[in-house]
Structure 1
Amino acid sequence: MNFNIPRGTQDILPGQSEKWQYIEQKAHDLCRRYNYKEIRTPMFEMTELFARGVGDTTDIVQKEMYTFEDRGGRSLTLRPEGTASTVRSYVENKMHGWVYQPVKLYYVGPMFRYERPQSGRMRQFVQFGVEAMGSDDPAIDAEVIALAMDFYKELGLTNLKLVINSLGDKESRTNHREALIKHFEPRITEFCQDCQKRLEKNPLRILDCKIDREHELMDSAPSILEYLNEASKDYFNSVKGYLSDMDIPYEVDATLVRGLDYYNNTAFEIMIEGKGFGAITTLSGGGRYNGLVEEIGGPVTPGIGFALSIERLLMALDAQGIELPVQEGLDAYLIVLGEEPKKRAPKILHDLRSHGVVVDSDYLDKKMKAQMKAADRMNAAYALILGEDELAEGNILVKTLATGDQETVPFDQISAFIEQRKGE
């Protein structure tokens, strides 16, 4: 029987995994500069967490979750996104009582959604996300957006477009909700079944419908910006002001809704436009969720965050022809000739690796010519040749593969020799 990889998943093989490692390290380094601390949550949670945290009117909860019962009859779900799990941990571990506030967290890990697999959209995918909880200062909204923009820019991406909107506070959203119901209700039967259900539960989600996006009522729907009260307007203006101060260009799009029920006030998406990547495409998004911590059982706590897909990021890098400066090749390849040198090889390799040298050797008893070819294929900087004569003299013949130059180096100096050459 042949076994194939499940649909919507992928094997990340050597040659590609180095790119993932580079990107993930970039995320770790950037978050350290912004003083965000890493959190690692379980890959499955109680199903009710996502129904409450993500929103039971969202496509994620209604159609896309991987849900199962364990042997105790408990309903569990593979996490479809990272925010709900992070907030659950925030509440459960009483982070609201930590000395340093706001609590600034980030995560990098796999998520799971049962979607139709397509380019850049997998059933198992990896998200990098940040969450800042405990402050309703608009300055931290701008900080979160700046972190996301910096991440893309430091990887070399260009043609980025930041789109922002305000969904308003509770009062503003309530007034907007009533206006949306009044707008859509007379013709709601012309919309899909999902939108008909959303009319009373969360009419804002109708604006995010992919099926009815061309319906004429969409263009004439009341804008949230028309229903912002003074407090919401002031908040939004402050966020925009901070972005301008940081020289981060943006566009305001009143139709930007985001796909999760817990957003309020600031919402944003980062898009990319360019050859090889089709039309303007969303790379990441996020926003403020001031009621989510309470929904999951915690105290009144404001929060804001974003998440992005590593898969979509890699697509964007490929589309713009950006080669990541991943470390490839070996510092050295040990070529062993003869039985006694072969017995000595493991210790030499261990000593080199203990001193930080990236080195490998032959384990198939190949001839010298084949071993030299292996050194070339592995892109080694040096070939370390150890034969019977070298062993007897306590030396290794070092050949610089780029130039063909050779010199003899004592065993106890080989690590320092390579490290010195690497630093030149």
Structure 2
Amino acid sequence: MIQVPRGTADVLPGEIELWQYIENAARDICRRYNYAEIRTPVFEHTELFQRGVGETTDIVEKEMYTFTDRGDRSLTLRPEGTASTVRSYVENKMFGLANQPVKLYYIGQMFRYERPQAGRMRQFTQFGVEAIGSHDPAIDAETIALAMRLYEELGLKNLHVELNSLGDAESRQAHRDALVKHFTPHIAEFCADCQSRLARNPLRILDCKKDAGNELMKTAPVILDYLNEESSTYFEKVKQHLDNLGIAYNVNPNLVRGLDYYTHTAFEIMEHGIGAVSTICGGGRYNGLVEQVGGNDMPGIGFAMSIERVLLALKTQGIELPIQQGVECFVIGMGDEAESKAFQLLDQLRAGGLSADKDFMGRKMKAQLKAADRLQAKAVVIIGEDELARKAAMVKNMASGEQQEVPFDALIAHVQKICGK
């Protein structure tokens, strides 16, 4: 028997409704914040992620699904959504749109080759937002607020924001020089990856999981000590906006995120009690990314969250989403002519905006009523020879048990009323 590849999973009926609920909630909150949906290809030229995400990141070095196509081009299944969105922004000249900044969101599959665990799969679904074109620190706070509001409306509790600033290019360079000076005398104690990153990108050493317990990690220079006046002022304004919105946060100078494109604001939203996977959202500002993928020097900020981790957090906190399953109406026809009419009425009920179904297995009346119960039908429409002769149907309200004969031409309105439409 052929099974799904490791790190992937089928999302079946009964579970997919939870995904749809979360995705619909994300779309609704983006509508309220004036973010428009964008859909980019599932695979891109490998160079996009090498330049955008960063060649020294774990994602690029170890986790990408890269292949050569029949035209001898190197392509990669997208490991994250920001680089693709920014590429589309540049390619489609969105910087010329009248409404600025350009505010976009996406919901789609991403792919990373890593060890599968709860809430972390090799194929996963990511919801993310990107706001490109504004230097205003208020939009940094807006993206954080959008994520927090979505979580709150889903019912999640025990959340907090971890916040840091990675500064501008000047601040980052000063911090980089300090990191090189700090790690160089003892770099032989670190893993091969850290040794190779010392010269290329020492900030990535702080993100290493293998050497996380090394004493030098604890005493490493922190970026907040190297922020210039402009970067420090910017960070203070972001914090002030969050304070004004009533969003609590913890300044964490060790938060660096796993992608190279971040500048200034970096943040993660943490959920207590989710187990080993505690980060359920991450994002930040990326003022140099648009230029790195071939555009003009434009600022941007965004975040991404895995739907799988949201579901895990909901499960951990015992939160049940108000999912409507089954159908609103079940139609039963007894006898060949009544069965034919039932099929016709079924189509009319669906055209009237009702979810409806009937038996297609040739079962008896009792078995069909049980099927209606399993489908949680609010109304059952029954047509026999007598009803057919009177051009009417017997309609049972499953909540009250009340039965009433209803003419065919009034059937849709009657069932809609039972179903609260």
Normalising by structure 2, report the TM-score.
0.99
Say if 2:179 is the partner of 1:163. Answer: no
Give the letter for the 1:154 counterpart.
E
Q: Tell me if structure 1 keeps the 8 A contact 2:379–2:418.
A: no
Q: Tell me if structure 1 keeps the 8 A contact 2:333–2:341.
A: no
Offset of residue 329 of structure 1:
2.4
Q: Tell me if structure 1 keeps the 8 A contact 2:378–2:419.
A: no
Pairs within 5 Å for 1:11-410: 11-274=10-273, 277-278=274-275, 281-410=278-407
Give the letter for the 2:196 counterpart.
K
Q: Deviations over 1:382-421 (max 9, x none)?
A: 1111111111111111112233221111111111011122
The sequence identity of aligned pairs, in percent, is: 64
Q: Tell me if structure 2 keeps the 8 A contact 1:31–1:37.
A: yes
Distance, in Å, in 1 between the alignment partners of 2:361 and 2:213 is 64
Q: Deviations over 1:344-392 (max 9, x none)?
A: 1221011110111111000111110110110011111111111111111
Query: 5+ unaligned residues in a row in structure 2: which ranges?
Result: none
Q: Tell me if structure 1 keeps the 8 A contact 2:223–2:253.
A: yes
Give the letter for the 1:359 counterpart.
A
CA root-mean-square deviation: 1.0
Q: Tell me if structure 2 keeps the 8 A contact 1:44–1:79.
A: yes
Q: Deviations over 1:188-237 (max 9, x none)?
A: 01001111111111111111111100000011001111000110000000
Q: Tell me if structure 2 keeps the 8 A contact 1:271–1:280.
A: no
Offset of residue 81 of structure 1:
0.3
Distance, in Å, in 1 between the alignment partners of 2:173 and 2:382 is 76
Give the letter for the 2:348 counterpart.
D
Distance, in Å, in 2 between the alignment partners of 1:340 and 1:180 is 83
Distance, in Å, in 2 between the alignment partners of 1:423 and 1:362 is 24
Q: Deviations over 1:130-157 (max 9, x none)?
A: 0000011101100111111111111000
Distance, in Å, in 1 between the alignment partners of 2:259 and 2:191 is 19
Give the letter for the 2:396 counterpart.
K
Query: 5+ unaligned residues in a row in structure 1: which ranges?
Result: none
Q: Tell me if structure 1 keeps the 8 A contact 2:81–2:110.
A: yes
Matched position secondary structure for 1:423: coil
Matched position secondary structure for 2:125: strand
Larger mean CA deviation between 414-423 and 207-216 belongs to 414-423
Q: Deviations over 1:117-137 (max 9, x none)?
A: 111110100000000000111
Q: Tell me if structure 1 keeps the 8 A contact 2:67–2:74.
A: yes
Offset of residue 422 of structure 1:
2.5
Distance, in Å, in 1 between the alignment partners of 2:293 and 2:354 is 50
Distance, in Å, in 2 between the alignment partners of 1:364 and 1:278 is 45
Distance, in Å, in 2 between the alignment partners of 1:168 and 1:292 is 15
Matched position secondary structure for 2:255: coil
Q: Tell me if structure 1 keeps the 8 A contact 2:231–2:264.
A: yes
Distance, in Å, in 2 between the alignment partners of 1:7 and 1:17 is 20
Q: Deviations over 1:220-256 (max 9, x none)?
A: 0011110001100000000000000000010000000
Give the letter for the 1:239 counterpart.
V
Q: Tell me if structure 1 keeps the 8 A contact 2:392–2:407.
A: yes
Matched position secondary structure for 2:419: helix
Q: Tell me if structure 1 keeps the 8 A contact 2:119–2:277.
A: no
Give the letter for the 1:413 counterpart.
A
Give the letter for the 1:230 counterpart.
E
**Number of matched residues?**
421
